[in-house]
């Protein structure tokens, strides 16, 4: 078995967070190695190559801020970049900062055990190669563990089956084919309009409808580029202190305090801002069901206006689902796709799938003959990627046991009894609720300061106290109860995965408040952490 030199920090995952961790840790004078499962860097943006894949955060915000020259020189071509452009950007960053030499590709990690005798993490890759490090950073992704549903007969299907998050690099080419898509979350909603144009016939199998708002995407002009370059320092400062990690803020009045015409104007403006940003129309849209009701009813009217058949609109419009309780989808022509003669919608609430057959899908009412079956069925989010590693802390404690009632962390960074293990964008951090790139930078910078402090003090072992982690997690539970997020089943709560404990997994009070809390704790001698057991 191949043995590798020990390093100070081993990073699992070369997505946005892992890549910046390699850079920042190295700059701070620590030795580092990153193990990446994919054949290329990029994480989420490497794997999610399905047609239509784009980020739902504007690219000028969803990009690194740590190096001003980098942000001044890179030009985004559109407001919301496509997956290939985001991946090209990530590769550019890796090249520019010479990060390749510390990243090992095709190296999925299967086990990581804490060795108490020497205070080191021992990590094993699928190939059998072993690595050891004082600190382990898990940058394994919030949406990386694929959820492939266990539908009866699924292995009998003789056509092609593809999950959106495992789309082949060479593309597909569905011309002349009968394609079925299961799932109408963000991945389904982004890919369906394009698959409809490609396939001979597209059948969409919808279990739960989602709210989607048009992206209003557009190319960025030269004038935009100049303005962006000038604005960047202020834009980043405001974004870091904001809730969602961008400059967009709601208009100042709560929904109930607006006159009907003010409300309508605010909603129209919010709608035209586009996509997830519609969720920021009113300051109380995520905390007050009545305020949210105005937004939901407005969205319903907009959606009905573009769907020709009212019965189809009835199926596509969510019911009893506050808009934004599941992440709002950001689309380009989604609802209009159902006006096409070569697209059919199957309401799985009315006719559940009975089985996958050799030639298609059988529901309670009909049979659908298909050449291709696309699973846009999402992820075991936030905890799935960690739970799929044989991850053991002090005393051999397994992460699955530590989290059997739902994930518990301190600041999203540490799990009690897992010394020197640090999570990036883990449960208990803002993660997917804020701009992930700025959140990753903030987290990595905070951790690098922690490691420098430990180095100065000669500390070998850093561990979160369980009472501190319980308190942090309770604070999140309580804050989440005040939001609309707990009013609908979603992957935010783990409810898309059978048997997963229901717990809201993200810090819901915003990036600015999160950073403030973390900084206060650092200033307070890292209250809640134990250094060499004290
Ligand atoms: P999502 O948002 O979890 O969507 C998955 C979809 O797949 C959703 O519509 C599910 O319906 C559906 N699904 C899952 N399993 C089944 C089965 N067994 N039968 C029928 N339908 C099923 O994942 P995405 O990849 O679209 O998006 C994830 C995030 O990525 C997104 O929020 C953005 O932040 C980026 P259900 O709702 O469970 O009834």
The number of CA neighbours under 13 Å toward the Cβ of 40 is 16
Rounded mean pLDDT, 153-168: 97
Identify the band that residue 171 occupies on the pLDDT scale cut at 50, 70 and 90: confident
76 C-alpha vs ligand 1 centroid, how far in Å? Answer: 29
pLDDT (average), residues 211-223: 97
Between the alpha carbon of residue 122 and those of residues 45, 110, 313, 459, the distances in Å are: 28, 11, 54, 19
User: What confidence tens digit (pLDDT) does each residue in 56-79 have?
Assistant: 999 999 999 999 999 999 999 999
d(CA 464, CA 395): 15
Average pLDDT over residues 15-30: 98
CB-CB neighbours of 389 under 10 Å: 18
Q: Whose CA is nearest to atom 18 of ligand 1?
A: 149
Residue 266 class from Cβ within 10 Å (0-12 exposed, 13-18 middle, 19+ buried)?
A: buried
Q: What residues contact 112, with CB distance under 8 A and at least 6 apart?
A: 12, 121, 122, 123, 124, 136, 389, 390, 391, 392, 421
Domain spans in the chain, listed from the N-terminal domain onward: 7-145+380-526, 212-221+239-375
pLDDT above 90: residue 172: no
Q: Are 348 and 205 in contact (CB under 8 A)?
A: yes
The H-or-E segment that residue 27 falls in is helix 16-27
Which DSSP string corresponds to 274-292? -GGGGGGSSTTTTT-HHHH
**Helices and strands in the chain: count of H runs, count of E runs:** 14, 20
Q: Is the model's pLDDT at 419 over the cut of 80?
A: yes
Q: Please check whether residue 125 is in contact with residue 131, taking contact to mean a CB–CB distance below 8 angstroms.
A: yes
Structure tokens at 473: 């997690």
Cβ atoms 295, 278 nearer than 8 A: yes
Question: What is the predicted pLDDT for the residue at 173?
Answer: 87
Residue 2 confidence (pLDDT) above 70: no
| The overall pTM is greater than 0.95 | yes
Which among 144, 124, 123, 82 is positioned nearest to 380, based on CA atoms?
A: 144
Is the pLDDT confidence value at 12 over 80? yes
Bridge partners for 329 per DSSP: 212
Q: Is the pLDDT of residue 1 over 60?
A: no
User: 72 and 229 in contact (C-beta within 8 Å)?
Assistant: yes
- pLDDT tens track for 302-345: 999 999 999 999 999 999 999 999 999 999 999 999 999 999 99
Q: Tell me whether strands 32-35 and 7-12 are parallel, antiparallel or unpaired.
A: parallel
Say how far apart CA 265 and CA 298 lie, in whole Å: 11
**231 — pLDDT class (breaks 50, 70, 90):** very high
The SS3 of residue 7 is strand
Partners of residue 181 on adjacent β-strands: 204, 374
The CATH architecture one would assign to domain 7-145+380-526 is 3-Layer(bba) Sandwich (3.50)
Residue owning the nearest CA to atom 29 of ligand 1 = 186
> What's the rounded mean pLDDT across residues 206-218?
98
Q: Inform me whether the pLDDT recorded for 399 exceeds 80.
A: yes
Which of 196, 217, 257, 182 is closest to 58 using CA atoms?
A: 217
Within 8 A by CB and 6+ apart from 231, the residues are none
Q: Is residue 159 within 6 Å of ligand 1 at its C-beta?
A: no
Q: Give the helix/strand (H/E) hosting 91.
A: helix 83-96
Is pLDDT of 524 > 70?
yes
pLDDT at 57: 96
Dihedrals φ, ψ of 480, to 5°? -65, -35
pLDDT digits (tens, 9 = 90+) for 92-115: 999 999 999 999 999 999 999 999
Atom of ligand 1 nearest to the CA of 165: 25
- 209 CB near ligand 1 (under 6 Å): no
Q: Which atom of ligand 1 is nearest to the CA of 327?
A: 32
In this predicted structure, the answer to whether residue 131 has a pLDDT above a threshold of 70 is yes
Distance 381 CA to ligand 1 centre (A): 11
- The arithmetic mean of pLDDT across residues 374-395, rounded, is 98
Contact 178, 203 (CB under 8 A): yes
Site to substitute for ligand 1 among 331, 374, 377, most atoms within 8 A of C-beta: 377
Please say whether the beta carbons of 56 and 156 come within 8 A.
no
pLDDT (tens digit, 9 = 90+) per residue, 250-262?
Answer: 999 999 999 999 9
Enumerate residues 6+ apart whose C-beta is below 8 A from 497.
Answer: 147, 380, 384, 491
């Amino acid at each position: 078995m191949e043995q590798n030199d020990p390093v100070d920090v081993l990073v699992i995952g070369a997505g946005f967070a892992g890549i910046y961790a390699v850079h920042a840790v190295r700059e701070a004078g620590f030795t580092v190695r990153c193990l990446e499962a994919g054949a290329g860097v990029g994480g989420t943006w490497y794997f999610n190559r399905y047609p239509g894949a784009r980020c739902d955060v504007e690219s000028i915000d969803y990009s690194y801020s740590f190096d001003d020259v980098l942000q001044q020189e890179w030009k985004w071509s559109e407001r919301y970049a496509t997956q290939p452009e985001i991946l090209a950007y990530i590769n550019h960053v890796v090249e520019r900062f010479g990060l390749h030499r510390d990243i090992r590709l095709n190296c999925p990690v299967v086990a990581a055990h804490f060795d108490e005798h020497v205070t080191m993490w021992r990590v094993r890759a699928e190939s059998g190669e072993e690595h050891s490090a004082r600190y382990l950073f898990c940058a394994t992704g919030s949406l990386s563990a694929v959820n492939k549903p266990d539908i009866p007969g699924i292995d009998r299907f003789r056509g092609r089956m593809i999950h959106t998050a495992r789309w082949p690099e060479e593309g597909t080419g569905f011309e002349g084919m009968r394609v079925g898509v299961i799932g109408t979350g963000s991945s389904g909603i982004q890919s369906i309009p394009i698959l409809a144009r490609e396939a001979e016939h597209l059948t969409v199998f919808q279990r739960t409808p989602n709210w989607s708002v048009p992206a209003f995407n557009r190319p960025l002009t030269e004038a935009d580029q100049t303005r962006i370059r000038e604005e960047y320092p202020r834009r980043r400062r405001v974004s870091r202190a904001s809730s969602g990690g961008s400059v967009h803020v709601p208009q100042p009045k709560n929904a109930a305090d607006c006159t009907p015409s003010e409300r309508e104007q605010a909603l129209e403006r919010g709608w035209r801002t586009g996509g997830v940003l519609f969720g920021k129309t009113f300051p109380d849209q995520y905390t007050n069901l009545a305020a949210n009701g105005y937004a939901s009813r407005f969205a319903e009217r907009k959606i009905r206006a573009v769907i020709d058949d009212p019965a189809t609109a009835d199926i596509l419009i969510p019911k009893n689902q506050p808009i934004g309780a599941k992440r709002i989808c950001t689309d380009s022509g989604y609802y209009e796709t159902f006006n096409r003669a070569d697209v059919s919608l199957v309401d799985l609430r009315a006719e559940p799938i009975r089985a996958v057959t050799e030639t298609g899908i059988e529901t309670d009412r009909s049979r659908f003959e298909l050449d291709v079956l696309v699973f846009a069925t999402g992820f075991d989010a936030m905890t799935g990627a960690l739970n799929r590693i044989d991850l053991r802390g002090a005393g051999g404690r397994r992460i699955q046991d530590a989290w059997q009632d739902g994930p518990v962390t301190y600041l999203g960074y540490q799990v009690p009894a897992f010394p020197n293990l640090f999570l990036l964008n883990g449960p208990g951090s803002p993660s997917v609720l804020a701009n992930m790139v700025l959140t990753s930078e903030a987290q990595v910078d905070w951790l690098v300061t922690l490691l420098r402090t430990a180095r100065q003090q000669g500390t070998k072992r850093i561990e979160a106290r369980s009472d501190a982690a319980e308190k942090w997690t309770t604070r999140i539970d309580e804050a989440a109860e005040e939001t609309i997020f707990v009013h609908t089943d979603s992957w935010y709560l783990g409810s898309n995965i059978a048997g997963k404990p229901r717990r809201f997994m993200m810090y819901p009070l915003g990036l600015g408040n999160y950073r403030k809390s973390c900084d206060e704790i650092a200033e307070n001698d890292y209250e809640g952490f134990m250094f060499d057991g004290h």
